[in-house]
Amino acid sequence: MTQKIALVGVNGRMGRALVQAVQEDKSSLLSAAFVRQGSALTGLDAGEVTGFGRLDLPMQDSLDTSLFDVLIDFTRPEATMAYMNACVSAKKPMVIGTTGFSAAELTEMQAAAQQIPIVFAPNFSVGVNLLLGLVAKAAQVLTDYDIEVIEAHHRYKVDAPSGTALRLGQAAADALGWDLNQCAVYGREGITGERPAQQIGFATVRGGDVVGDHTVLFAGLGERVELTHKASSRLTFAQGAVRAAHWLAHQPAGLYDMQDVLGLR
């Protein structure tokens, strides 16, 4: 059965990859494309704007929930919250790849997931989600090693550290029984003193057109173990989001992530 998928923010870098992924998936139909209210792109053809040729799909700046089975959103937190509330009212499932949410927004998302099924993940790559499990296993074995998370993204990314980096740090912290809020350090400067044992450091690099690189470093006395994932195309994330959209069609209300979609739990 063909699933009608709507996208928001199709004119962005990730939006264009999502258009391609939906178009290439034989079980999906790109049924609607939405842009922010008042956008100059309103009414233009989604395919022509994103470089995929005419699709006879005019972009709309008002969310019409009757046009889709599931909504995929990789935009900004404030926009995602508005789209999520509309989906709750219409009882439509949602795939969320947006990052940078506040604690209050995450609480609101958890409440929404009591009414509709939501897949929320900082990274929809199959490889990254496999990496999460490897990081947890390494943390359980390398218990006295220092842990550092290093991530690099393009110059346009607006939040730091990346949601994926935070999720990797959380995987290590959970495996060790640590509270990430207490043990995380986001950058170092000046005379910081010796590194405490129970600490997870985060380092952020921004520049150029880097799609997304993540490394979790386990540094011991005499050796280092590095677990790394490098993304070379946003299509990887888009294909994962489409896979999540299909999976959602068979799920009850709840807050899920790609670990659930891929059966890695």
Mind telling me the catalytic residues? Answer: 153, 157
* Residue whose C-alpha is closest to residue 67's, from 90, 39, 42, 88: 90
